[in-house]
A and B are shown apart, each in its own frame.
Chain A
Amino acid sequence: MAFKLTYKPLGERSILVEWPAIIDNEILNDIIQFKKVIERNKIKSIIELKSAYNSLLITYNFICRNFENEVLLLENLYKLVEPDSDRVSVLWKIPVCYDAMFGVDLEAISKEKKLSKESIIKRHSKAIYTVYFIGFLPGFLYLGGLDESLHVPRKSTPRLQIEKGAVAIGGNQTGVYPSASPGGWNIIGNSPIEFFNPKAEIPCFAKAGDCIVFQPITLSEYENIKGLVDAGVYQLESEGIHG
Chain B
Amino acid sequence: MVKVLAPGFYSTIQDLGRIGFQQYGVPYSGAMDMYSATLANLILANEANDAVIEMTMTGAKLQFHCDTCICVAGADMSPKLNEVSIQLHKSVKVTVGDVLSFGKLNKGFRTYLAVSGGFKTEEIMGSRSMYKGVTDVFQLIKNDELKIISNYSFSNDNNSLVKVDIKHFKTNDIEVFKGPEFDLLSANQQKFLLQNEFTISKENNRMAYQLSEPLENNLEPIITSAVLPGTVQLTPSGKLIVLMRDCQTTGGYPRVLQLKESAINVLAQKFTGKTIRFKLNSKY
Nearest opposing residue in chain B for A8, CB measure: B180
A138 within 8 A of partner (CB)? yes
- Give the 8 A-B residue pairs with the shortest CB-CB distance, closest first: A135-B250, A57-B226, A50-B22, A134-B25, A55-B225, A138-B25, A52-B225, A138-B26
B56 within 8 A of partner (CB)? no
**Which of B228, B248, B261 touches A135 (beta carbons < 8 Å)?**
B248
Given the complex, which residues of A lie within 8 Å of B226, measured CB to CB?
10, 14, 16, 50, 52, 55, 57
In Å, the complex CA distance between A64 and B284 comes to 8
**Which of B19, B124, B125, B135 touches A48 (beta carbons < 8 Å)?**
B19
What's the nearest-Cβ distance from chain A to residue B24, in Å? 5
Could you say which interface size class chain B belongs to? 20 to 34
- Interface of chain B residues 1 through 57 with chain A (CB within 8 A): 19-27
With A11-B228, A51-B23 known as contacts, the answer to whether A196 contacts B179 (CB < 8 A) is no
Given the complex, which residues of A lie within 8 Å of B23, measured CB to CB?
48-51, 133-134, 207-208
In Å, the complex CA distance between A133 and B25 comes to 9
Contact B125 A21 (CB under 8 A): no
Main secondary structure of the interface of B (DSSP, over half): loop
The interface on chain A, measured as residues whose beta carbon lies within 8 A of the other chain's beta carbons, has a size of: 43
Contact B134 A138 (CB under 8 A): yes
In Å, the complex CA distance between A105 and B179 comes to 38
Contact A179 B133 (CB under 8 A): yes
**Which of B22, B180, B223 touches A53 (beta carbons < 8 Å)?**
B223
- Interface of chain B residues 228 through 260 with chain A (CB within 8 A): 228, 230-231, 248-250, 255, 258-260
Contact A10 B22 (CB under 8 A): no
Contact A135 B249 (CB under 8 A): yes
A23 within 8 A of partner (CB)? yes
List residues of chain A with CB under 8 Å of any chain B CB. 8-14, 16, 18, 21-23, 47-55, 57, 59, 63-64, 67, 133-140, 142, 179, 196, 198-199, 203-204, 207-208
Contact A138 B24 (CB under 8 A): yes
B169 within 8 A of partner (CB)? no
Given the complex, which residues of B lie within 8 Å of A10, measured CB to CB?
179-180, 226, 228, 231, 255, 258
**Which of A13, A23, A57 touches B223 (beta carbons < 8 Å)?**
A23
In Å, the complex CA distance between A11 and B134 comes to 25
Given the complex, which residues of A lie within 8 Å of B20, measured CB to CB?
47-48
In Å, the complex CA distance between A48 and B21 comes to 8
Given the complex, which residues of B lie within 8 Å of A57, measured CB to CB?
22, 225-226, 228
With A52-B225, A137-B248 known as contacts, the answer to whether A16 contacts B180 (CB < 8 A) is yes
B96 within 8 A of partner (CB)? no
In Å, the complex CA distance between A142 and B23 comes to 12
Contact B284 A67 (CB under 8 A): yes
What's the nearest-Cβ distance from chain B to residue A17, in Å? 10
B224 within 8 A of partner (CB)? yes
Given the complex, which residues of A lie within 8 Å of B250, measured CB to CB?
50, 52, 133, 135-136
30 A-B pairs within 8 Å (CB atoms) are namely A10-B179, A10-B231, A10-B258, A11-B231, A11-B259, A11-B261, A12-B177, A13-B261, A18-B180, A18-B225, A21-B222, A48-B19, A49-B23, A50-B23, A51-B23, A53-B224, A57-B22, A59-B22, A63-B261, A134-B24, A135-B248, A136-B25, A138-B25, A139-B24, A196-B24, A196-B25, A198-B26, A198-B124, A198-B125, A198-B133
Contact mask B165-178 → A, CB, 8 Å, 1/0?
A: 00000000000010
Nearest opposing residue in chain B for A164, CB measure: B133
Given the complex, which residues of B lie within 8 Å of A59, measured CB to CB?
22
Given the complex, which residues of B lie within 8 Å of A142, measured CB to CB?
224
What's the nearest-Cβ distance from chain B to residue A12, in Å? 6
Contact A50 B249 (CB under 8 A): yes
What's the nearest-Cβ distance from chain A to residue B72, in Å? 28
What's the nearest-Cβ distance from chain A to residue B264, in Å? 9
Contact A14 B249 (CB under 8 A): no
Given the complex, which residues of B lie within 8 Å of A208, measured CB to CB?
23
In Å, the complex CA distance between A12 and B179 comes to 12
Given the complex, which residues of B lie within 8 Å of A8, measured CB to CB?
180
Known contacts A18-B225, A135-B248; 4 additional CB pairs below 8 A are: A8-B180, A9-B177, A9-B284, A67-B284
Given the complex, which residues of A lie within 8 Å of B222, measured CB to CB?
21
Contact mask B143-180 → A, CB, 8 Å, 1/0?
A: 00000000000000000000000000000000001011
Given the complex, which residues of B lie within 8 Å of A204, measured CB to CB?
24-25
Nearest opposing residue in chain B for A66, CB measure: B284
Contact B223 A54 (CB under 8 A): yes
What's the nearest-Cβ distance from chain B to residue A163, in Å? 14
What's the nearest-Cβ distance from chain B to residue A14, in Å? 6
In Å, the complex CA distance between A142 and B251 comes to 12
Nearest opposing residue in chain A for B124, CB measure: A198
Contact mask B125-139 → A, CB, 8 Å, 1/0?
A: 100000001110000
Contact A12 B261 (CB under 8 A): yes
In Å, the complex CA distance between A38 and B162 comes to 42
